[in-house]
């Protein structure tokens, strides 16, 4: 059975690593590493029939500015005719983000009168943040943006898929991001840590981070993967029957003098 994974720090943050990532697979299965079309560092292991379980572990110390997500309210929105061609794929429908759906008309009716650019994206985040109720117990890996819109419940990936879709409906390139987000600068939450999902939009001359789940600037995001939606950056994907037994994510702040 082939098992793919996206578990390493994204190459854009490798320069911030204090030391090499401590990545391991048990039992050792001679992984083949590669970069996908989005620039994510990925891997494949081939699991023989006599291996009943596989364990992945990774740990790293990453330098971070300690600053919250960038805030640039003057960042402008481009006409699709003027966008860099590299961003155009992030306007299109994808597996979990059905731009060519009822959400297209809804988006223009809901956000068509908002100022284009930063304010429009923030209006979308405000809507999604209040429209969906966060509930781990009702998580479902197959939920799409349209389903999340109607069911009004989900986890961070559902907030992100809906926000990404609404941005694309408004001709704003938006891409899905998965990674680590610790409770740095905010009160810790009661439930266990998890991988987090947020999104980036192209405004002005760069990509900016937005987060419809938390809907406020956060400190210490560590990107693992970027893509059109969660289907492009699965933590693991197995080509065969598997069961996820458990996983544990821990992200915490270190004092600079101890690094």
| Same domain, yes or no: 163 and 106 | yes
Does some domain include residue 67?
no
pLDDT of 6 over the 90 cut: yes
**Which CATH number covers residue 141?**
3.10.620.30
| Same domain, yes or no: 137 and 53 | no
| Same domain, yes or no: 131 and 248 | no
Q: Summarize the confidence of residues 227-240 as an average pLDDT.
A: 95
Query: Phi/psi of residue 41, each to 5°?
Result: -85, 120
pLDDT of residue 46: 96
Domain interval for residue 137 = 80-229
pLDDT digits (tens, 9 = 90+) for 119-128: 999 999 999 9
| Same domain, yes or no: 52 and 130 | no
Radius of gyration of the chain (CA): 19
Does some domain include residue 70?
no
pLDDT of 259 over the 80 cut: no
Q: How many domains does the chain have?
A: 2
| Same domain, yes or no: 187 and 103 | yes
| Same domain, yes or no: 128 and 171 | yes
Reference 159, options 87, 229, 246; nearest CA is 229
pLDDT of residue 208: 98
Question: What is the C-alpha to C-alpha distance for residues 99 and 80, in angstroms, rounded to an integer?
Answer: 15
SS3 of the chain: helix, strand, coil, percent, to 5: 25, 25, 50
| Same domain, yes or no: 224 and 240 | no
Does some domain include residue 74?
no
| Same domain, yes or no: 137 and 245 | no
Q: Summarize the confidence of residues 137-144 as an average pLDDT.
A: 93
Tokens 């008309």 belong to 105
pLDDT of residue 191: 81
| Same domain, yes or no: 106 and 54 | no
Global confidence as pTM? 0.95
| Same domain, yes or no: 124 and 249 | no
| Same domain, yes or no: 205 and 246 | no
Give the H/E segment covering residue 168: helix 156-169
Burial classification of residue 183, based on how many CB atoms lie within 10 Å of its CB (0-12 exposed, 13-18 middle, 19 or more buried): middle
| Mean pLDDT over the full length of the chain | 95
Does some domain include residue 56?
yes
pLDDT digits (tens, 9 = 90+) for 42-85: 999 999 999 999 999 999 999 999 999 999 999 999 999 999 99
């Amino acid at each position: 059975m082939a098992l793919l994974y996206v578990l390493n720090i994204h190459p854009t943050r490798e320069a911030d690593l204090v030391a090499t990532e401590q990545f391991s697979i048990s039992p050792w299965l001679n992984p083949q590493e590669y970069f996908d079309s989005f620039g994510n560092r990925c891997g494949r292991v081939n699991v023989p029939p006599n291996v009943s379980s596989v364990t992945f572990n990774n740990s790293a110390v990453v330098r971070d500015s300690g600053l919250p997500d960038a805030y640039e309210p003057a960042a402008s929105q481009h006409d699709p005719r003027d966008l860099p061609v590299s961003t155009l794929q992030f306007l299109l429908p994808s597996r979990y983000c059905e731009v060519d759906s009822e959400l297209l008309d809804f988006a223009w009716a809901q956000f068509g009168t908002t100022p284009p650019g930063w304010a429009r994206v923030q209006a979308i985040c405000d809507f999604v943040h209040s429209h969906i109720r966060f509930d781990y117990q009702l998580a479902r890996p197959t939920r799409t943006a349209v389903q999340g819109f109607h069911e009004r419940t989900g986890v961070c990936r559902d907030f992100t898929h809906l926000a990404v879709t609404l941005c694309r409906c408004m001709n704003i390139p938006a891409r899905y991001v998965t990674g680590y987000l610790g409770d740095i600068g905010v009160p810790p939450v009661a439930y266990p840590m998890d991988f987090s999902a947020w999104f980036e939009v192209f405004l002005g001359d760069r990509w900016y981070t937005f987060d419809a789940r938390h809907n406020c600037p956060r400190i210490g995001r560590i990107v693992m993967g970027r893509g059109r939606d969660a289907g492009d950056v699965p933590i693991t994907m197995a080509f065969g029957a598997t069961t996820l037994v458990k996983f544990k994510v821990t992200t915490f702040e270190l004092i600079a003098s101890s690094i």
